[in-house]
Amino acid sequence: MSGVWFALGLTLVAGMATGIGSAIAFFAKRTNYRFLSIATGFSAGVMLYVSFVEILLKGSDALVEHYGDPAGYWVNTAAFFGGMALIGLIDNLIPSAENPHETHAEVETAPLHDAEAPFPDGCVLAEATTARSAAGLHDHSVDHHKLMRMGLFTALAIGIHNFPEGLATFLSALEDPGLGIAIAIAIALHNIPEGISVSVPIFYATGNRMKAFTYSLLSGLSEPIGAAVAYVALVVILGGTADVPQELMGILFAGVAGIMVYISLDELLPTSRAYGKGHDSIYGLVAGMLVMALSLLLMK
């Protein structure tokens, strides 16, 4: 049971990282976009490396041992792409206007941490809107109702995205605590810019920093909720025991690998490129892979 509490605790820590992003937006003098670029690139590197080198292989070994060769490999591959299909379906159900990985210009985030900074309305807002429209980014209008709706939809979108991420962290930590810690760190890093994405529109809609921070923090709660739902479902399916059969764990691992690869390629790398300059994202990506590789070697 202690392993279950440890896995749940990791997902809670990873999910609450949205609050770190919100805190950065409110207290940092300037948003360090280069840090966000490298951090999200690092997160993608960790997820990609651990998905292909560790998690997918764990799933393959378990399934081949249970179903034999080649049936086990077929099941492993189907589960991997099934995980990608699941997160892809979730993505397609979320309106693109509320995409939680859009970047925010400095003119938008300045009033969050500086009470004397001008709000982006009038000429400032017009200039920011023109620049953001040209870049294909979403616009924050002065309509407070629309801003609040955008902020709440962003929080909802992040919550839906974080649900399968909580599942990934929980299952990994349940099987291998060291692996779970690495994945939790990667997911926590990628949750930081999401916290900013919730805070900005809600702050402009309400003028209340605490409310914006609270919504940002709550959006990360779906991660431990996802873990708790996974645990309850497993216990119900297994008739009151948490001892997961080898073949089911293999399918879950392959599906988790698919989810994390999709998140890395569809969310993290584009976000890293949007926040960074030059080769920042690839530096973060390679660093993430290297750290994950060394961690796995040291855990052998």
Q: What is the pLDDT of residue 117?
A: 60
User: Residue 131: pLDDT above 50?
Assistant: no
Q: What is the pLDDT of residue 140?
A: 42
Tokens read off for 269: 């790398």
Average pLDDT, stretch 199-205?
72
Q: What is the pLDDT of residue 289?
A: 92
Q: What is the pLDDT of residue 82?
A: 94
User: Residue 209: pLDDT above 80?
Assistant: no
- Between vectors from CA 201 to CA 265 and to CA 133, what angle results, nearest 5°? 65
CA atoms within 13 A on the CB side of 208: 10
Whether the CB-CB separation of 18 and 143 falls below 8 Å is answered with no
Percent of the chain residues topping a pLDDT of 70: 71
Nearest to 214 by CA among 204, 199, 194, 192: 199
Q: What is the pLDDT of residue 97?
A: 45
**For the chain, where are the alpha helices, taking DSSP H only?**
2-15, 17-27, 33-50, 56-67, 71-93, 106-113, 122-134, 144-175, 177-206, 209-219, 222-237, 246-263, 269-275, 280-299
User: Residue 285: pLDDT above 50?
Assistant: yes
Q: 103-120 burial, b if ≥16 CB within 10 A, otherwise e?
A: bbbebbbbbbbeeeeeeb
Q: What is the pLDDT of residue 142?
A: 44
Phi-psi region of 240 (alpha: psi -120 to 50; beta: other; left: phi over 0): left
Domain boundaries, the chain: 2-299
Average pLDDT, stretch 272-293?
85
- Between vectors from CA 151 to CA 147 and to CA 152, what angle results, nearest 5°? 120
Average pLDDT, stretch 7-33?
77
Q: What is the pLDDT of residue 1?
A: 61
Phi-psi region of 74 (alpha: psi -120 to 50; beta: other; left: phi over 0): alpha
User: Residue 129: pLDDT above 60?
Assistant: no
